[in-house]
Amino acid sequence: MSNTAQAQLGLVLEAGGSELAELLERTEARLVKVADGHGSALGRHAGGTLAAGGKRLRPVLVFLSAAEPDARLVVAGAAVELLHMATLVHDDVLDGAELRRGRPTVFAKGGRAAATATGDLLFSRAFAELTGTGSEDAVRALSAASSALARGELMQRADAWSEDVTPERYLERCRLKTARLFECACLIGADPEPREAQALATYGVEIGLAFQLLDDVLDVTGPAERTGKARGTDLLDGTVTMPLILARERDPALAELDLRALDPAGAAAACDRIADTGVLDEVRADARERVERAKSVLAAAGIDERRRELLTMVADGVVERYS
Amino acid sequence: MSNTAQAQLGLVLEAGGSELAELLERTEARLVKVADGHGSALGRHAGGTLAAGGKRLRPVLVFLSAAEPDARLVVAGAAVELLHMATLVHDDVLDGAELRRGRPTVFAKGGRAAATATGDLLFSRAFAELTGTGSEDAVRALSAASSALARGELMQRADAWSEDVTPERYLERCRLKTARLFECACLIGADPEPREAQALATYGVEIGLAFQLLDDVLDVTGPAERTGKARGTDLLDGTVTMPLILARERDPALAELDLRALDPAGAAAACDRIADTGVLDEVRADARERVERAKSVLAAAGIDERRRELLTMVADGVVERYS
């Protein structure tokens, strides 16, 4: 996470007061406990993954979507984070990724089998945790998000290296891969009042899409010291994202570019060409519009001002992350 | 499944009457439905996996462990089967297995990413299904079994090619990899009456261990046309099982055998040497003792005669499978 994003989350925590901070602390404690009692190797891998942290953005969405703090929120926040981490661990196996957030992945430390088993364990723990809340709706929402994640992951791999991914298909993939779990976090936290839950679901989807769009811009712009990844990692992986899709329409050299033939220097050069077409500002503008829409939907649903302020800060944080 | 085992399960179904047959049919229908609505590629892979069938031994254990037929049993049976299949799909990825039960695996048809995603989907559906029963205890039992499966899988891979796996460690691995899910099936089906549930749990563990022991004997004896696998597949995979562990103590040539250097002909020769030591009869005897113990525990717990008879037939079926 960049320093600006960290600062932004700090502001949310400050504004959220001790209640929010306490929910997050209890979620951390719960995540640490999840890794206990599953045998030394598996516990070590799962524990290391959970301790590696991250923004805990999804649990924060669970908490801020609820009208009142409540013990069930800690469990629900932990469950959503566990599902998120399970998919990251399996993604790293498929990508053969050695590092995540600057730390060695489970795949790097334990190999393919250990990482597959660790992800499986985190999947099952996510659902076992959530069952503790006694809400069938919550489990159904998590299961639907889990199915969406799996479909999004498959779609990304099906579209790898493709020359004809449409913007619509790209957005559908982002929805499945990223936005649906944001939506799920909001829905699980939300009180069942229909207008409120619907508004929070829309909010979750829109900031999820904005998050993914800006993440994909960042892969083009770098710099690596901010993102922890070399520029053009997506291009080298064959992942076709919105900046490339739009830039291909404007620059014939990009339209003819064979991603499979790229080396890191070629990927950096392609990133420069993508930036030169001016599409990055368009993608950023689309993301910002989604964030604005997310914020205005909350206002229209009559969500109380204090929560709206915090959710607005989270939404702005998604944009800040990349500014 | 061998013809004798199929015949044995047929006998159980016949003796169980229309109630048992109906529960199984409804479980099949539920499993087919699970694959719906998850996108075409994922749904096709998940559906193909679920339709490929198998003995449905675990759902049968769920049903026979209950004193009365009950709608929740169908859901619980489907959940246990889903978890079992999720782990098979992931195992096939790790093993690079092309065939299972004579059919192409998801890994073979869709590749690594599709199979990982399919397994993840089946995991999450297992828990989502079970939540429908509203029993936290059931979800906790399934999650514990899932953790055990993951640990057992890791243990198997940690011990691959090892020269010093003890019989105790091998049995602990079988317990985690196989017996705990049998136990879970019995516990989820069982009525909460403590003595009955405890007896059924012990029954599940013992027939699970017997099942695995006899499976490992079968890998040594073949013949391939019965098992669908070449003899010595475990040896070629580096999986050290009880027959080899015991035979190594008796035959110095086996003690010095380097599994990594084996080719299929060498594996077949090693199988002959293992058989020549006479250990296979010992392993079979251990499995049969476990089955007898499983049956006697049921009698001591006062489980009604009709169910006991059916559970006895299932236990005998585990042995029949290999006779």
Tokens of A229: 């990844």
**Hey, what's the torsion of the CAs at B171, B174, B179, B184, to 10 degrees?**
110
pLDDT at A48: 81
- Which is nearest to B126 in space by CA: A89, A107, A98, A147? A147
Which of A37, A90, A113 minimises the CB distance to B116?
A: A90
Task: Give domain B17-134's CATH number out of 2.60.40.10, 3.50.50.60, 3.90.180.10, 1.10.600.10.
Answer: 1.10.600.10
Answer left, alpha or beta for residue A240, where phi above 0 means left and psi between -120 and 50 means alpha. beta
What is chain A's length?
323
pLDDT tens, residue by residue, B99-126: 888 889 999 999 999 999 999 989 888 9
Tokens of A304: 């109380």
Which residue(s) pair with A100 in the sheet? A103
Give kind and range of the element (H or E) at residue B234: helix B233-237
Residues A143, B127: C-beta atoms closer than 8 Å: yes
A140 contact B CB<8A: yes
A180 in Cβ contact with A148 (< 8 Å): yes
* Cβ atoms within 10 Å of B278's Cβ, excluding its own: 11
- Which is nearest to B60 in space by CA: B51, B69, B52? B69
A93 contact B CB<8A: yes
B45 in Cβ contact with B107 (< 8 Å): no
Q: Average model confidence (pLDDT) for chain A?
A: 89
Could you tell me the pTM of the whole model? 0.87
Taking 80 as the threshold, does the pLDDT of residue A323 lie above it? no
Residues A39, B142: C-beta atoms closer than 8 Å: no
Domain boundaries, chain A: 17-134, 162-310
DSSP helix/strand/coil, B99: strand
Tokens of B123: 């995991």
Amino acid symbol at A320: E
Q: Which CATH class is domain B135-304?
A: mainly alpha
pLDDT at B1: 45
pLDDT tens, residue by residue, B161-193: 998 899 999 999 999 999 999 999 999 999 878
CATH 3.90.320.10 fits A162-310, yes or no: no
Give residue A277's pLDDT band: very low, low, confident or very high (50, 70, 90).
very high
Which residue(s) pair with A103 in the sheet? A100
pLDDT at B194: 84
- Chain B: closest CA distance from residue A42 (Å): 6
Q: Average model confidence (pLDDT) for chain B?
A: 89
B118 contact A CB<8A: yes
B59 in Cβ contact with B118 (< 8 Å): no
**Fold agreement (A17-134, A162-310):** yes
pLDDT tens, residue by residue, B9-58: 677 777 777 888 899 999 999 998 887 766 677 788 888 888 777 789 99
- Chain A: closest CA distance from residue B78 (Å): 15
Residues B41, A158: C-beta atoms closer than 8 Å: yes
Tokens of A188: 């699980």
Residues of A in contact with B136 (CB under 8 A): 131-132, 134
B173 in Cβ contact with B155 (< 8 Å): yes
B107 contact A CB<8A: no
Which of A38, A94, A131 minimises the CB distance to B113?
A: A94
- Which is nearest to B123 in space by CA: B95, B89, B157, B93? B89
Which residues fall within 8 angstroms of residue B214, CB to CB, at 6 or more apart?
B283, B284, B287, B318, B319, B321, B322
B134 contact A CB<8A: yes
Tokens of B28: 């099949």
How much of chain B exceeds pLDDT 70, in percent? 93
- Which is nearest to B242 in space by CA: B264, B215, B265, B222? B215
- Chain A: closest CA distance from residue B277 (Å): 33
Buried/exposed B119-138: b ≥16 CB within 10 Å, e otherwise:
bbbbbbbbbbbbbbbebeeb
pLDDT at A153: 87
A55 contact B CB<8A: no
* For range B141-151, the mean pLDDT: 90
Residues of B in contact with A153 (CB under 8 A): 113, 116-117
A258 in Cβ contact with A235 (< 8 Å): no
B161 contact A CB<8A: no
Which residues fall within 8 angstroms of residue A1, CB to CB, at 6 or more apart?
A9, A54, A55, A321
Residues B124, A136: C-beta atoms closer than 8 Å: no
Q: Which of B36, B80, B123 to mutate to test the interface with A (most CBs of A within 10 A)?
A: B123
B23 in Cβ contact with B16 (< 8 Å): no
A158 contact B CB<8A: yes
Tokens of B300: 């001591």
Any idea which residue has 């679901």 for tokens? Answer: A201
Which of A131, A136, A153 minimises the CB distance to B117?
A: A153
DSSP helix/strand/coil, A63: helix
pLDDT at B227: 55
Give kind and range of the element (H or E) at residue A103: strand A103-104
Residues B124, A123: C-beta atoms closer than 8 Å: yes
A155 contact B CB<8A: yes
- Chain B: closest CA distance from residue A150 (Å): 5
Tokens of B7: 């015949």
Give residue A224's pLDDT band: very low, low, confident or very high (50, 70, 90).
low
Which of A132, A143, A157 minimises the CB distance to B128?
A: A143
pLDDT at A220: 95
* For range A67-75, the mean pLDDT: 87
* For range A31-36, the mean pLDDT: 83
Q: Which segments of chain A does DSSP mark as H helices, in order? A: 3-34, 40-51, 57-65, 71-95, 106-131, 136-158, 167-174, 180-189, 194-221, 224-227, 233-237, 242-248, 252-255, 264-276, 279-300, 305-320
Half-sphere exposure of A262 (CA within 13 A, CB side): 24
A149 contact B CB<8A: yes
